[in-house]
Amino acid sequence: MFINTKMLLRIFCKYVYYSGSGNFDYEDTFKESIFYKLYTVLSFSVYITMILFENFAAMFGKFPEVEKNSAVMFSAIHNIILAKMFFLLYHKNSIKKLNYEMATVMENIEVEHIMEEQYRKVKFGITFYAVSVYLSLGAYGIESLRKVISEGAPFYTVVTFLPFYDDDSILAAIIRAFFYMTWLYMMLPMMAADCMPIIHLIMMAYKFITLCHHYENIREDFDINVKTMNKRKAIHILKSGCLEGILMHQKLLRLAEEIHHVFGIIMSLQVCESSAVAVLLLLRLALSPHLDLTNAFMTYTFVGSLFFLLALNLWNAGEITYQASLLSNAMFYCGWHCCEMEKEAHKDIRQLVLIGCAQAQKPLILKAFGVQDLSYATFVSVARMTYSIFAVFYQRRD
Q: What's the pLDDT at 345?
A: 44
Q: How many alpha carbons lie under 13 Å from residue 369 in its C-beta half-sphere?
A: 7
Full pLDDT tens readout for the chain, 398 residues? 689 999 999 999 999 999 999 999 998 888 899 999 999 999 999 999 999 999 999 999 888 877 888 888 888 889 998 999 999 999 999 999 999 999 999 999 999 999 999 999 999 999 999 999 999 899 889 888 888 888 888 888 888 998 888 888 999 999 999 999 999 999 999 999 999 999 999 999 999 999 999 999 999 998 888 888 888 888 888 888 988 999 999 999 999 999 999 998 888 888 888 877 777 777 766 666 566 777 778 878 888 888 899 899 999 999 999 999 999 999 999 887 777 655 554 457 788 888 889 999 999 999 877 778 899 888 888 888 877 877 776 676 65
User: For residue 286, which amino acid is it?
Assistant: A
Residue ranges per domain, the chain? 5-397
Nearest to 356 by CA among 225, 238, 243: 243
Q: How far is CA 287 from CA 112, 274, 280, 304, 372, in A?
A: 51, 20, 11, 19, 30
Residue 333 carries which side chain, given as an amino acid letter? Y
Q: Is the dihedral of CA 51, 53, 57, 60 positive or negative?
A: positive
Backbone angles phi, psi at 173, to 5 degrees: -65, -40
- Backbone torsion region of residue 159, taken as left when φ is above 0, otherwise alpha when ψ lies between -120 and 50, otherwise beta: beta
Alpha helices by DSSP H, the chain? 5-18, 34-60, 65-90, 92-104, 112-151, 170-228, 231-287, 293-325, 327-332, 349-360, 376-397
pTM: 0.93
Q: What angle do CA 180, 184, 296 make, to 5 degrees?
A: 80
**How is 237-286 classified by DSSP, letter by letter?**
HHHHHHHHHHHHHHHHHHHHHHHHHHHHHHHHHHHHHHHHHHHHHHHHHH
Mention every residue, 6+ apart, whose C-beta is less than 8 A from residue 380: none
User: Would you say 81 and 190 are in contact if contact means Cβ atoms under 8 Å apart?
Assistant: yes
159 and 67 in contact (C-beta within 8 Å)? yes
